[in-house]
Structure 1
């Protein structure tokens, strides 16, 4: 890989970019692409010399999801590939023994808990840029509930009760408004709930992972 190629990173992302400082997205050598789909990596490898790419968000309804074989083909062709935050974290866990690199808290959670479902990071979002989220990933709500349990705002049994309700619900129905209703049913003070929801970005580990990735720029140290 040439020195010039080392400076380039193609980033496939969408809803996980919400809340990321726009200055970080204007970094030199960063190439932003929409959420990844099957065939995107094959096309990139066919038309570009080996460089760096990072998979964050991906589609799986409107198009087939990015395949393991195309990732492996790119790795074998000399590409350095990171996975984080969402579908990228899942693929990195599946392929980290084959050369794909995992990054961030979401990746660590999947790597440490083989029972963690892909459903944890799934959400619905707008089909076009800026891909605004229309639901909240369960992994974010889980972070929030864990914090409230540690602060003894809710009990561990109440935390598990809400998680069970959400896990048995279609991911598109998992919204902060839905969470608020569940907390109100536990007789939690509404103002306390509204204040927590107003600061919910604290628990959005998918976005925090993207921010840390862009700050650390690990592709420049490969």
Structure 2
């Protein structure tokens, strides 16, 4: 891989960019692409020599999801591929023994818990840029509730009941407003709930992982 290729990273990303400092996107070698779908890697390989590629967000309803075979073909052709935050973390967990590189907390959670389902990171978002999220991934709500349990604001039983309630819900209906309503039903202070929701970005580990990836720029490191 040439020095120029080493510095270049094609990033397939969408709603996980929400809240990211735009300065982190100023790396000269960073090439942004929309959420990945099946066939995108194959098309990229046609006109681009082997370089770096990072999968963050992906689609799976309107188009087939990115497949394992095309990721493997790219790695065999000399591409270095990272997966993080969302669909990328899932694929990395499934393919880390084959050479795909996992990054971040979401990847580690999937790698350490075989019971974690794809549903944890799923959300609905705008179909076009800037792909703003319209629902909240369960994995973010899980982080929030775990913190509140640790702080003894809610009990472990309440945490379990809330997660069960939300997990049994269609992912598009998992919103902070729905979470707020569920917490109000527990007779928790409205001010306390609103304050926590106003600072909910602290629990958005999908975006936090992406921010760390952009800061560290692991693709610039020589093997």
TM-score by length of 1: 0.99
Give 4+ residue runs of structure 1 displaced > 4 Å after superposition. Answer: none
Q: Which residue of 1 is the match for residue 199 of structure 2?
A: 199
Unaligned runs of 5+ in 1: none
The question of 1:149 aligning with 2:126 is answered no
Backbone CA RMSD of aligned residues:
0.4
Q: Which residue of 1 is the match for residue 34 of structure 2?
A: 34
Unaligned runs of 5+ in 2: none
The question of 1:104 aligning with 2:90 is answered no
* Distance (Å, rounded) in 2 between the aligned partners of 1:142 and 1:115: 14
* Alpha-carbon distance, 1:28 to partner: 1.2
* Distance (Å, rounded) in 1 between the aligned partners of 2:47 and 2:27: 23
The correspondence of residues 155-166 of structure 1 with structure 2, limited to 5 A, is: 155-166=155-166
Q: Which residue of 2 is the match for residue 121 of structure 1?
A: 121
Q: Which residue of 1 is the match for residue 25 of structure 2?
A: 25
Deviations for 1:88-119, whole angstroms, at most 9, x for unmatched residues? 00000000000000000000000000110000
Aligned length in residues: 222
Deviations for 1:45-91, whole angstroms, at most 9, x for unmatched residues? 12110000000000001100001000000000000000000000000
Q: Which residue of 1 is the match for residue 57 of structure 2?
A: 57
SS of equivalent residue, structure 1 residue 131: coil
SS of equivalent residue, structure 2 residue 45: helix
* Distance (Å, rounded) in 2 between the aligned partners of 1:125 and 1:47: 29
Q: Which residue of 1 is the match for residue 95 of structure 2?
A: 95
* Distance (Å, rounded) in 2 between the aligned partners of 1:115 and 1:142: 14
* Alpha-carbon distance, 1:39 to partner: 0.3
* Distance (Å, rounded) in 2 between the aligned partners of 1:189 and 1:21: 32
